[in-house]
Amino acid sequence: MVRAPSYDKNGIKKGAWSKEEDERLRAYIQRYGHFNWRQLPKFAGLARCGKSCRLRWLNYLRPDLKHGNYTQEEVELIMKLHQQLGNKWSQIAEKLPGRTDNEVKNYWHSHLKKCLKSKENTTCELKSKPGNSLEGNATCKFVRSESPDADVGDDFHNIFESSLPMSTETSEGDNDSLTSNVAQSTMNCSRGKEDFSVAPWVTFEEFSGDFWTEPFVAENTYTDEICSGESGAFLIPNFYDGAYLL
DNA sequence: AACGACTGCAACCGCCGTTCG
DNA sequence: GCGAACGGCGGTTGCAGTCGT
Protein backbone atom coordinates (compact mmCIF):
# COMPACT_ATOMS: atom_id res chain seq x y z
CA MET A 1 0.00 0.00 0.00
CA VAL A 2 3.00 2.23 0.40
CA ARG A 3 5.95 2.95 -1.77
CA ALA A 4 9.11 1.04 -1.17
CA PRO A 5 11.78 3.08 0.56
CA SER A 6 14.54 4.35 -1.70
CA TYR A 7 17.20 7.04 -1.77
CA ASP A 8 17.74 9.64 -4.43
CA LYS A 9 21.11 10.85 -5.61
CA ASN A 10 21.30 13.40 -2.79
CA GLY A 11 20.77 10.78 -0.15
CA ILE A 12 17.22 11.91 0.49
CA LYS A 13 15.01 9.03 1.48
CA LYS A 14 11.75 8.49 -0.34
CA GLY A 15 8.91 6.08 0.01
CA ALA A 16 7.23 4.66 3.04
CA TRP A 17 8.02 6.12 6.42
CA SER A 18 9.37 3.80 9.07
CA LYS A 19 8.02 3.77 12.58
CA GLU A 20 11.26 5.24 13.82
CA GLU A 21 11.05 8.12 11.37
CA ASP A 22 7.47 8.77 12.42
CA GLU A 23 8.44 8.85 16.06
CA ARG A 24 11.36 11.11 15.36
CA LEU A 25 9.28 13.58 13.38
CA ARG A 26 6.41 13.51 15.82
CA ALA A 27 8.67 13.99 18.83
CA TYR A 28 10.53 16.81 17.17
CA ILE A 29 7.46 18.78 16.09
CA GLN A 30 5.68 18.27 19.35
CA ARG A 31 8.68 19.59 21.15
CA TYR A 32 9.88 22.36 18.90
CA GLY A 33 7.14 23.00 16.39
CA HIS A 34 7.63 23.40 12.67
CA PHE A 35 9.23 26.76 12.14
CA ASN A 36 10.73 25.89 8.78
CA TRP A 37 9.85 22.73 6.94
CA ARG A 38 12.92 22.77 4.74
CA GLN A 39 15.27 22.98 7.68
CA LEU A 40 13.27 20.69 9.92
CA PRO A 41 14.54 17.35 8.63
CA LYS A 42 18.11 18.44 9.24
CA PHE A 43 17.36 19.45 12.80
CA ALA A 44 15.29 16.38 13.43
CA GLY A 45 17.92 14.07 12.01
CA LEU A 46 15.75 12.81 9.20
CA ALA A 47 17.03 11.98 5.74
CA ARG A 48 13.87 13.36 4.17
CA CYS A 49 13.01 16.49 2.28
CA GLY A 50 10.98 19.16 4.02
CA LYS A 51 7.99 18.62 1.85
CA SER A 52 7.91 14.98 2.72
CA CYS A 53 8.06 15.78 6.43
CA ARG A 54 5.32 18.35 6.09
CA LEU A 55 3.11 15.92 4.22
CA ARG A 56 3.72 13.14 6.67
CA TRP A 57 2.92 15.37 9.61
CA LEU A 58 -0.16 16.99 8.11
CA ASN A 59 -1.64 13.86 6.63
CA TYR A 60 -0.73 11.23 9.13
CA LEU A 61 1.03 12.20 12.33
CA ARG A 62 -0.93 15.21 13.53
CA PRO A 63 -2.50 14.22 16.84
CA ASP A 64 -5.85 15.74 15.96
CA LEU A 65 -6.39 13.51 12.95
CA LYS A 66 -9.04 10.93 12.59
CA HIS A 67 -8.32 7.95 10.40
CA GLY A 68 -10.90 5.96 8.47
CA ASN A 69 -14.37 5.62 9.90
CA TYR A 70 -16.19 8.25 7.90
CA THR A 71 -19.51 9.07 9.47
CA GLN A 72 -22.63 9.59 7.43
CA GLU A 73 -22.49 13.25 8.35
CA GLU A 74 -19.00 13.50 6.98
CA VAL A 75 -19.90 11.69 3.78
CA GLU A 76 -22.83 13.94 3.24
CA LEU A 77 -20.81 17.03 3.97
CA ILE A 78 -18.13 15.99 1.50
CA MET A 79 -20.72 15.46 -1.18
CA LYS A 80 -22.39 18.74 -0.47
CA LEU A 81 -19.19 20.73 -0.34
CA HIS A 82 -17.88 19.11 -3.47
CA GLN A 83 -21.03 20.23 -5.19
CA GLN A 84 -20.38 23.76 -4.03
CA LEU A 85 -16.61 23.96 -4.29
CA GLY A 86 -15.51 21.35 -6.78
CA ASN A 87 -12.08 19.85 -6.22
CA LYS A 88 -11.12 22.34 -3.55
CA TRP A 89 -10.04 19.60 -1.23
CA SER A 90 -8.33 21.81 1.28
CA GLN A 91 -11.45 23.93 1.67
CA ILE A 92 -13.59 20.84 2.00
CA ALA A 93 -11.21 19.38 4.56
CA GLU A 94 -11.41 22.57 6.61
CA LYS A 95 -15.04 21.77 7.29
CA LEU A 96 -14.20 18.28 8.42
CA PRO A 97 -12.28 18.40 11.67
CA GLY A 98 -9.63 15.74 11.82
CA ARG A 99 -9.64 15.12 8.09
CA THR A 100 -6.98 16.19 5.66
CA ASP A 101 -7.33 17.33 2.10
CA ASN A 102 -5.42 14.26 0.98
CA GLU A 103 -7.70 11.96 2.88
CA VAL A 104 -10.83 13.63 1.61
CA LYS A 105 -9.49 13.55 -1.91
CA ASN A 106 -8.64 9.87 -1.64
CA TYR A 107 -12.00 9.09 -0.18
CA TRP A 108 -13.71 10.95 -2.93
CA HIS A 109 -11.84 9.17 -5.67
CA SER A 110 -12.13 5.74 -4.16
CA HIS A 111 -15.65 5.84 -2.74
CA LEU A 112 -17.81 8.73 -3.77
CA LYS A 113 -16.79 9.45 -7.32
CA LYS A 114 -17.98 6.10 -8.46
CA CYS A 115 -21.36 6.83 -6.98
CA LEU A 116 -21.68 9.93 -9.10
CA LYS A 117 -20.55 7.98 -12.11
CA SER A 118 -23.61 5.87 -11.73
CA LYS A 119 -25.48 8.99 -12.80
CA GLU A 120 -28.97 10.11 -12.17
CA ASN A 121 -31.58 8.54 -9.96
CA THR A 122 -29.42 5.74 -8.96
CA THR A 123 -28.46 4.64 -5.55
CA CYS A 124 -25.29 3.25 -4.24
CA GLU A 125 -24.12 1.93 -0.97
CA LEU A 126 -21.16 3.31 0.87
CA LYS A 127 -19.94 0.23 2.56
CA SER A 128 -18.21 0.53 5.84
CA LYS A 129 -15.17 -1.13 7.14
CA PRO A 130 -15.48 -3.24 10.24
CA GLY A 131 -15.93 -0.88 13.14
CA ASN A 132 -16.74 1.98 10.87
CA SER A 133 -19.27 4.28 12.39
CA LEU A 134 -20.87 4.51 9.00
CA GLU A 135 -22.99 1.73 10.34
CA GLY A 136 -25.10 -0.38 8.09
CA ASN A 137 -23.95 1.29 4.86
CA ALA A 138 -25.31 4.70 4.07
CA THR A 139 -27.62 4.78 1.12
CA CYS A 140 -27.07 7.66 -1.22
CA LYS A 141 -29.20 8.83 -4.07
CA PHE A 142 -28.33 11.14 -6.89
CA VAL A 143 -30.90 13.03 -8.87
CA ARG A 144 -30.44 15.31 -11.83
CA SER A 145 -30.36 18.93 -10.85
CA GLU A 146 -32.82 21.35 -12.37
CA SER A 147 -30.18 24.01 -12.30
CA PRO A 148 -29.63 25.60 -15.69
CA ASP A 149 -26.06 26.33 -14.78
CA ALA A 150 -24.28 24.50 -17.52
CA ASP A 151 -20.82 25.76 -16.80
CA VAL A 152 -20.13 23.57 -13.91
CA GLY A 153 -18.66 20.16 -14.29
CA ASP A 154 -20.72 17.11 -14.88
CA ASP A 155 -20.62 16.10 -11.28
CA PHE A 156 -22.29 19.34 -10.31
CA HIS A 157 -25.45 18.39 -12.10
CA ASN A 158 -26.16 15.86 -9.47
CA ILE A 159 -27.75 16.53 -6.16
CA PHE A 160 -26.85 14.38 -3.28
CA GLU A 161 -29.51 12.91 -1.12
CA SER A 162 -29.07 10.47 1.64
CA SER A 163 -30.98 8.35 4.03
CA LEU A 164 -29.84 10.57 6.85
CA PRO A 165 -32.43 12.46 8.86
CA MET A 166 -30.20 15.51 8.81
CA SER A 167 -29.29 16.38 5.33
CA THR A 168 -29.16 18.97 2.64
CA GLU A 169 -31.75 20.84 4.61
CA THR A 170 -28.89 22.36 6.50
CA SER A 171 -29.29 26.00 5.79
CA GLU A 172 -27.03 27.85 3.44
CA GLY A 173 -23.86 28.90 5.12
CA ASP A 174 -24.61 26.72 8.05
CA ASN A 175 -21.83 24.36 7.45
CA ASP A 176 -20.13 25.48 10.59
CA SER A 177 -22.96 24.22 12.69
CA LEU A 178 -22.86 21.00 10.82
CA THR A 179 -19.20 20.57 11.37
CA SER A 180 -19.64 21.42 14.98
CA ASN A 181 -21.64 18.26 15.24
CA VAL A 182 -18.55 16.40 14.41
CA ALA A 183 -16.57 16.14 17.53
CA GLN A 184 -14.12 18.94 17.76
CA SER A 185 -10.72 17.49 18.03
CA THR A 186 -8.16 18.56 20.50
CA MET A 187 -4.46 18.65 20.35
CA ASN A 188 -4.16 16.13 23.10
CA CYS A 189 -2.27 13.00 22.54
CA SER A 190 -0.70 10.40 24.69
CA ARG A 191 2.76 9.09 25.10
CA GLY A 192 2.60 5.86 26.96
CA LYS A 193 0.56 6.42 30.04
CA GLU A 194 1.00 10.15 30.20
CA ASP A 195 -1.19 12.55 28.36
CA PHE A 196 0.07 15.87 27.24
CA SER A 197 -1.23 18.70 25.19
CA VAL A 198 0.41 19.79 22.03
CA ALA A 199 0.46 23.25 20.65
CA PRO A 200 1.34 23.19 16.97
CA TRP A 201 2.50 26.76 17.13
CA VAL A 202 5.13 26.06 19.74
CA THR A 203 8.34 27.79 18.89
CA PHE A 204 11.79 27.71 20.27
CA GLU A 205 11.00 30.71 22.42
CA GLU A 206 7.81 29.25 23.77
CA PHE A 207 9.10 25.79 24.42
CA SER A 208 9.20 25.44 28.15
CA GLY A 209 11.45 22.46 28.24
CA ASP A 210 15.16 22.63 28.21
CA PHE A 211 16.39 22.52 24.67
CA TRP A 212 19.85 21.67 25.92
CA THR A 213 19.28 19.15 28.60
CA GLU A 214 16.45 17.39 26.81
CA PRO A 215 18.04 16.71 23.49
CA PHE A 216 16.02 15.41 20.65
CA VAL A 217 16.41 11.69 20.92
CA ALA A 218 18.93 10.29 18.58
CA GLU A 219 21.88 8.05 18.68
CA ASN A 220 25.40 9.28 18.15
CA THR A 221 24.65 12.78 19.25
CA TYR A 222 27.26 15.33 18.44
CA THR A 223 27.07 18.98 17.74
CA ASP A 224 28.47 21.01 14.95
CA GLU A 225 28.40 24.55 16.10
CA ILE A 226 26.73 26.96 18.39
CA CYS A 227 25.02 30.07 17.14
CA SER A 228 23.55 32.94 19.03
CA GLY A 229 20.29 34.66 18.36
CA GLU A 230 17.88 36.97 20.06
CA SER A 231 16.55 34.23 22.25
CA GLY A 232 19.96 33.06 23.22
CA ALA A 233 22.32 30.49 21.93
CA PHE A 234 21.08 27.52 20.04
CA LEU A 235 22.60 24.56 18.38
CA ILE A 236 22.97 23.74 14.80
CA PRO A 237 22.77 19.99 14.91
CA ASN A 238 25.06 17.79 12.98
CA PHE A 239 22.61 16.31 10.56
CA TYR A 240 24.65 13.36 9.54
CA ASP A 241 25.98 12.35 12.89
CA GLY A 242 22.83 12.74 14.87
CA ALA A 243 21.08 15.36 16.90
CA TYR A 244 21.57 17.70 19.77
CA LEU A 245 23.56 17.22 22.85
CA LEU A 246 25.60 19.66 24.75
C1' DA B 1 -3.78 -23.00 -3.90
C1' DA B 2 -2.42 -19.94 -7.47
C1' DC B 3 -2.78 -16.06 -10.02
C1' DG B 4 -4.45 -11.92 -12.17
C1' DA B 5 -7.51 -7.91 -11.49
C1' DC B 6 -9.03 -4.54 -8.62
C1' DT B 7 -9.01 -1.34 -4.61
C1' DG B 8 -7.50 1.92 -1.22
C1' DC B 9 -4.43 5.13 0.30
C1' DA B 10 0.27 6.86 1.41
C1' DA B 11 3.43 9.38 -0.91
C1' DC B 12 5.35 11.93 -4.75
C1' DC B 13 5.36 15.56 -8.33
C1' DG B 14 4.90 19.87 -10.22
C1' DC B 15 2.71 24.12 -10.29
C1' DC B 16 1.13 28.34 -8.06
C1' DG B 17 0.77 32.06 -4.62
C1' DT B 18 3.01 34.51 -0.99
C1' DT B 19 6.75 36.49 1.43
C1' DC B 20 11.04 38.57 1.89
C1' DG B 21 15.46 40.56 0.82
C1' DG C 1 10.26 45.34 -9.72
C1' DC C 2 12.61 41.01 -9.47
C1' DG C 3 14.07 36.57 -8.12
C1' DA C 4 14.74 33.08 -4.60
C1' DA C 5 12.78 30.51 -0.95
C1' DC C 6 9.08 28.48 0.98
C1' DG C 7 4.46 26.63 1.90
C1' DG C 8 0.27 24.91 0.08
C1' DC C 9 -2.55 22.61 -3.17
C1' DG C 10 -4.43 19.29 -6.54
C1' DG C 11 -3.33 15.57 -9.66
C1' DT C 12 -1.09 11.36 -10.14
C1' DT C 13 1.48 7.19 -9.07
C1' DG C 14 3.09 2.93 -6.73
C1' DC C 15 2.16 -0.92 -4.36
C1' DA C 16 0.29 -3.97 -0.47
C1' DG C 17 -3.86 -6.02 0.51
C1' DT C 18 -8.17 -7.95 -1.05
C1' DC C 19 -11.20 -10.12 -4.16
C1' DG C 20 -12.71 -13.08 -7.83
C1' DT C 21 -11.96 -16.91 -10.80
In whole angstroms, what is the distance from residue A56 CA to residue A83 CA? 28
pLDDT per residue of chain A (246 residues) written in tens, 0 to 9: 567 777 877 788 988 999 999 999 989 998 888 888 988 998 898 999 999 999 999 998 888 888 767 888 888 888 889 888 888 999 999 988 889 999 999 888 887 766 665 544 445 555 444 434 443 444 445 444 433 333 333 443 444 444 443 333 333 334 443 333 333 333 333 333 333 333 333 333 344 444 333 445 443 333 333 333 333 333 334 333 333 332
pTM above 0.85, yes or no: no
Q: Is any atom of strand C within 7 angstroms of residue A97's beta carbon?
A: no
CA of A234 vs C1' of B16, distance in Å? Answer: 34
| Interatomic separation, CA of residue A136 and C1' of nucleotide B16, rounded (Å) | 42
Q: Distance (Å) from CA A234 to C1' C19?
A: 55
Residue A31 CA to residue A48 CA, distance in Å, equals 19
Whether A14 sits with its Cβ under 7 A from any strand C atom: the answer reads: no
Show contacts of A140-143: CB within 8 Å, 24+ apart.
A140/A75, A140/A79, A140/A115, A142/A115, A142/A116, A142/A118
Give the contacts of A116 (CB within 8 A, at least 6 positions apart). A142, A155, A158
pLDDT at site A55: 92
Q: Which nucleotides of B are covered by protein (CB under 7 A)?
A: 7-14
